[in-house]
Structure 1
Amino acid sequence: MVTKAELLAYSITKFTQFGSKHVTLDDLANDLGISKKTIYTYFENKEDLVTSSLESLLNEYKEDINGLIKSHGKDPILCVILIYQRGFEY
């Protein structure tokens, strides 16, 4: 069975590739080989999944930014450049 973390990670990938409006819960369930009911055990509805995906992505990005600042905090220009680069990766 797919875990909530795996479902969230896959959803983030699909939402960022195609946009959340173009990805259905049926698409996600079929791709992952699970039933749509499994998705509903973790999330109330698609909006809840999209919101959780965005929160997860933003938290990951914030952690990356904080790590960059800790590593290169003495050079603010380098920090800005690295933050922009990381943003383009996301």
Structure 2
Amino acid sequence: MKEKIIKNAAELFITLGFKSVTMDDIANHMGISKKTIYSHFSNKTELVKEATLCVFHEITCGIRCIRELNKNPIEELYEIKKFAMLHLKNEKVSPQYQLQKYYPEIFNTLKEKQYENMHECTLQNLERGVALGLYRDNLDIEFVSRIYFIGVRGIKDDTLFPTQRFPKAELMEDYLEYHLRGIVTPEGLKTLNKFIKQQSNE
């Protein structure tokens, strides 16, 4: 039951927001009593922590599976972006902003975990891209990987990029293209243009 509560709560938090969803909402959604939830979690903060870690682990596992396919590094980034956006339901309510505002400790813990995971993933992607001649060989990959992380985090800031003006799916699409255009070789650009064309046709 505990796992079911975590999964249902995570879905509601991502869809409706961490602040908006109450323990009553979760109980009603699941058709159980609030008492049942409190038998597993002492308070909402504890449930929020478990739910965010659950989503993080699911996304991490999904990204690992994509990486194990050893796709072209540019295709790999597009596949990861597609998977993450699908999993986060395009973040229509900016859950990251609510998490940062109302649960700062959980937010900071999650941010550290995301950085560790994304840093390793991006470094390997950059190294493979350089080795295959798709990314420029004069890149400082440590610098590029950190800048990429900052950008991915930054575009989720609803005060800088309000959803009404910058829909999350389009924003991530634009940022990924921006990132790749700065690092690709002429050969890599051919591959990138192919994916840009595919995206516009979907």
| TM-score by shorter chain over 0.5 | yes
| Separation (CA, whole Å) in 2 of partners of 1:30 and 1:84 | 33
Q: Distance in 1 between matches of 2:37 and 2:71?
A: 45
Report the CA distance shift for 1:68/1:29 in structure 2 as closer, same or farther (over 3 A): same
Identity %: 33
Choose the corresponding residue for 2:35, options 31, 34, 37.
37
Paired residue secondary structure (1:63): helix
In structure 2, the partner of 1:76 is 73
1:74 Cα offset (Å): 4.7
Task: Give the one of 58, 61, 64 matched to 2:59.
Answer: 61
1:3-45 Cα distance to aligned partner (Å, 9 max, x none): 1111111111111111011110011112222221111111121
Take 2:28 and 2:58, find their aligned partners in 1: how far apart are those partners?
Answer: 27
Report the Cα distance in structure 2 between the residues aligned to 1:74 and 1:36, rounded to whole angstroms.
Answer: 46
Structure with greater helix percent: 1
Instruction: Give the Cα–Cα distance (whole angstroms) in 2 for the partners of residues 74 and 10 of structure 1.
Output: 33
Q: Aligned partners of 1:26, 1:60: CA distance in 2, in Å? A: 25
Deviates more, 1:28-37 or 1:55-64: 28-37
Q: Which runs of 5+ in 1 are unaligned?
A: none
Is 1:86 paired with 2:83? yes
Amino acid at match of 1:39: I
Letter of the 2:57 counterpart: N
- The residue aligned with 2:19 is 21
CA distance in 2, matches of 1:52, 1:11: 9
Cα distance in 1, alignment partners of residues 28 and 84 from structure 2: 30
SS at 2:42 equivalent: coil
Q: What is the Cα deviation at residue 88 of structure 1?
A: 1.1
Which moves more between the two structures, 40-49 or 53-62?
40-49
Distance (Å, rounded) in 1 between the aligned partners of 2:83 and 2:58? 11
Give a deviation string over 1:38-86, Cα, whole Å, max 9, x none.
1111112101111110000000000000000001x25211111111111
SS at match of 2:32: coil
Q: Which runs of 5 or more structure 2 residues have no equivalent in the other structure?
A: 88-202
Q: Which has the higher contact order (CA 8 A, sep 6+)?
A: 1
4+ runs of 1 displaced by more than 6 Å?
A: none
